[in-house]
Chains A and B, each alone.
Chain A
Amino acid sequence: MTLGIAGLVGATLVMVVLLAVVRQARAEMGIQLGIAAAATIFLILLPQIALAVRLLETVALKAHIELRFLDVVLRVIGIAYLAEFGAQVARDAGEGALAQKLELGGKVLILVLAIPVVNALLSLVLGLMRPGAL
């Protein structure tokens, strides 16, 4: 099922109305409905996102960029998306403090993931600075 932009907007508006009804009747059910709505929208968008990722991979292959660096970039995007997803759900439920902790966790994981890239860059720069390297 691939929805166009009109379908996406329509589905979102329906979700908003349902959320407004359910939230004032049962607040805890409203949170769960919000999670389900966010997950549904992403799952609807998934095929298009996959196309964009394939495009990135083909461009990287043509530019002879090492595939492990592209892998790091993709992982960072994935972690950022998931952390943002969880943080937004927590913030919607009124737990702003917890949301910020989750965002901190996402940043730390991204930093850890970037360590090999930073190491590679540092060794490259140090290699250039060695006497007689040029």
Chain B
Amino acid sequence: MPSVDLIFKIAGVGIAVAVIHLVLSKAGKEEYGFFATLAGVAIVFLVVVQLLSRLFDAVKTLFNL
């Protein structure tokens, strides 16, 4: 079932990553902040790709592509 929960999840990850980046850069560890951002983007990318595959499957079956 499609749900809006996924949106909240992604937004939460985004805000958390922004906070982590801020804290790490304030603590003088810029390189760790970069890796935290990279990890956050990778996690969200996994979720988004799954959602996209569901969307493409739905369109394929609906329009006989």
Cβ 8 A contact of A81, one of B8, B10, B11, B59:
B59
Would you give the 0/1 interface string for A16-58, flagging 1 where the beta carbon is closer than 8 Å to chain B? Answer: 0011011001101110110111011011101001100100000
Of the candidates B2, B6, B44, B63, which one forms a contact with A78 in the assembled complex, judged by CB atoms under 8 Å apart? B63
B12–chain A nearest beta-carbon distance, Å:
9
A46 and B62 in contact (CB under 8 A), knowing A1-B3, A36-B51, A39-B55?
yes
Measured in the bound complex, the distance between the Cα atoms of B11 and A14 in whole Å is 11
Cα of A29 to Cα of B21 in the assembled complex, Å: 13
Report how many residues on chain B are interfacial, defined by Cβ distance under 8 Å: 34
Interface residues on A, range: 35 or more
Given contacts A26-B17, A46-B58, contact A33 B63 (CB under 8 A): no
CB within 8 A of B60: which of A19, A28, A33, A78? Answer: A78
Q: Is B29 close to A, CB under 8 A?
A: no
- Chain A residues contacting B60 (CB-CB under 8 Å) are 78
Contact mask for chain B residues 23-65; partner A; CB cutoff 8 A; 1 contact, 0 none: 0000000000000010011001101100110111011101111
- Residue A101 at the B interface, CB < 8 A? no
A32, B49: Cα distance in complex, Å: 9
Tell me whether A36 and B2 are in contact (CB under 8 A).
no
Q: A25, A53, A79 — which one has the most chain B CB atoms within 10 A of its CB?
A: A25
A29 touches B13 (CB 8 A): yes
Alpha-carbon separation in the docked complex, A14 to B56 (Å): 24
Q: How far is the CB of A102 from chain B (nearest CB, A)?
A: 15
Query: Measuring CB to CB, which residues of chain B are less than 8 angstroms from any residue of chain A?
Result: 1-4, 6-8, 10-11, 13-15, 17-18, 21, 37, 40-41, 44-45, 47-48, 51-52, 54-56, 58-60, 62-65
